[in-house]
Structure 1
Amino acid sequence: MKYIALSLCLFAAPVMAQEQFDCVMDPAELVQIGSPVAGLLARVNVSRGQWVQAGDVIAELTSEFEMTTIELLEVQASSHAALDAQRAGLALIEGRYARTQELMDRGVATQDAMAEVEAELVTAQSLVVQAELEQEIARRELERARAALAQRVIHSPIDGLVFEKRMTSGEYLTSDGYVASLVQLDPLHVEAFLPVELFADVAEGQVVTIRPSAPIGGEYQGTITVRDRVFDAASGTFGVRVELPNPDGALPAGHRCFLELE
């Protein structure tokens, strides 16, 4: 009777069930660093395995032509000679117009003389507007040239690790090519497939345990950020993604793991 009572107590005790599922730890981003313009690589500043931060210069294209263009446009944009000359001419015509108007009021100047000065005034005003427009165009051309020069400097869009260095200085980079590949390792994205029976028990924002396979080991806490709404009918599963913090980069990407649900 003592053994029967003990068995009943064991069956009555609550049990916290834990389930483990295969998963893979992937990098959050895999970026192939290219350029919006083609050109000859003057410098490539990274090597495989190097850590970079967002904004770091990955590579630079040759830019002597663009720099010379900028110097020329800076001279044009900063020159006020043409505009000053047209404004001075307008001031003279405005003075003549005022004097002619005064003579007209006194009955000394003729209507034809007044019409001639008015025509000269309109022409002078138009020339000033044209000179202002040309200087504004020169400023805009300078801005465009500086933007074109900036495109020849390739920056890292993410904090990450250089996974592959594809090109080096002296090689020609095409518009559809890339210099290097970067991977973002913080956070990691853990991908797993769970049985559809667990769909109602899994939610975005839920904390789960990730156990990397040997030789890494250990256990880490991650948060479910994606729960697929489309099932795989053939396997009877649905996908989930877990965001796993990896601030020091200790956990490698591309490694197998186990996802544990409670």
Structure 2
Amino acid sequence: MNKARILPSRLATRHAALGISLAVTFVGTAVVQAADVPIENNRFGCVMEPFETVNLATSADGVLLEVTVDRGDRITEGQLLARLDSSVEEAEVQLARVSAASNAAVESSRARLAFQKARLKRNEDLAGQNMISLEELEEIETEVELAEHDLRQAQVNKELDRLELDRAINDLERRSILAPFDGVVMEKLLNVGEFSDGNTKVLRVARMDPLRVEAKLPAALYGVLAVGVHAEVYPSEAVGGTYTAQVSDIDTVLDSRDGTFRVRLVLGNQDYALPAGVRCQVRFLP
């Protein structure tokens, strides 16, 4: 009969420091675990971070004409944040808009077709009375077919003008940077007058509602938590207070180097009262 062995002292010390009562019994090479982990009675270290951060750049080359925000400014989704000099692109949009709005070619072709059809009808009556030759009638029928072709081509050109306007507008929009979400400006990376090659980062912005709370827990607790569990978050003394968060993600890959796994929580921050980049402690509720 194999005897049970006690956890190595260093591992036992680490778990004891966390306030975790854990017993592991080894039977041969198999592991039989009997754990009593009062997770709700323990606090774990965490960090409050922005839900996401994005480096913003234009997708076109040019000189930066304006930046409408600065570091620390709050932004709303769709807000214009910066744009390149766009005088050429704006002129192209105006020209394309005039062309797309004009219906003269289509109306002219339609009127010509109506005239040729009316002419054909008159001459068909004359041909029935043998007053014009068959060759003359065939010429008029050909004129009708050509007028129909011209109308179809005018309609195609009209659609091409519309597509050209869409392309010109798209080129103009590519020279502006709009806020991808509600948040704050973390950093302004390019100033007015500087050149952007299309890959140059202009602004760095962060989504602050909700905040993301990242915590590392001992591997012994893996399987104890579940997505949706609520927790209390205690920011460092510089911020203070107690806030309720909810588990949104649990890593399925543990870190073998320190015997931990990561847990992510979301913490509502609608009024932006809580800053990001703050250390905290988290206690999971039963």
Inter-partner Cα distance in structure 2 for 1:79 and 1:240: 60
Query: 2:108: which partner in 1?
Result: 85
Contact 2:235 2:278 in 1 (8 A): yes
Q: Residue 25 of structure 1 is aligned with which of 34, 48, 67?
A: 48
Pairwise CA distance, 1:16 = 9.1
Query: 2:89: which partner in 1?
Result: 66
- Aligned 1:65-144 pairs, distance under 5 A: 65-144=88-167
C-alpha deviations, 1:60-82, integer Å up to 9, x for none?
21111111112222332233333
- Aligned 1:1-262 pairs, distance under 5 A: 18-262=41-285
Contact 2:216 2:263 in 1 (8 A): yes
Inter-partner Cα distance in structure 1 for 2:154 and 2:214: 63
Contact 2:40 2:283 in 1 (8 A): no
Pairwise CA distance, 1:143 = 2.2
C-alpha deviations, 1:31-56, integer Å up to 9, x for none?
11111222111111111111111122
Matched to 2:200, the amino acid is: G
TM-score (norm 1): 0.88
Q: Highest relative contact order (Cα 8 Å, sep 6+), 1 or 2?
A: 1
With 187-196 and 209-218 compared, the bigger mean Cα shift is at 209-218
Identical counterparts, % of pairs: 36
TM-score (norm 2): 0.81
C-alpha deviations, 1:209-233, integer Å up to 9, x for none?
1111222222211000001112222
Inter-partner Cα distance in structure 2 for 1:261 and 1:27: 21
Matched to 1:117, the amino acid is: I
Q: 1:247 to 1:83 in 2, by over 3 A?
A: closer
With 70-79 and 249-258 compared, the bigger mean Cα shift is at 70-79
Matched to 1:99, the amino acid is: R
Q: SS of the counterpart of 1:202? A: coil
The unaligned stretches of length 5 or more in structure 2 are 1-37
Pairwise CA distance, 1:104 = 2.6
Inter-partner Cα distance in structure 2 for 1:26 and 1:78: 50
Inter-partner Cα distance in structure 1 for 2:140 and 2:39: 100
Matched to 1:38, the amino acid is: D
Pairwise CA distance, 1:29 = 1.1
Runs of 4+ in structure 1 over 4 Å off: none
C-alpha deviations, 1:78-107, integer Å up to 9, x for none?
333333332232222112211222123333
Contact 2:64 2:193 in 1 (8 A): yes
Q: SS of the counterpart of 2:222? A: helix
Q: SS of the counterpart of 2:81? A: strand
Q: 1:200 to 1:79 in 2, by over 3 A?
A: closer
Matched to 2:191, the amino acid is: T
Inter-partner Cα distance in structure 1 for 2:223 and 2:198: 47
Aligned residues: 248
The unaligned stretches of length 5 or more in structure 1 are 1-14
Inter-partner Cα distance in structure 1 for 2:59 and 2:234: 41
Pairwise CA distance, 1:17 = 5.6
How large is the RMSD of aligned CA atoms in angstroms?
A: 1.8
Q: 1:17 to 1:92 in 2, by over 3 A?
A: closer
Query: 2:10: which partner in 1?
Result: none
Inter-partner Cα distance in structure 2 for 1:245 and 1:84: 59
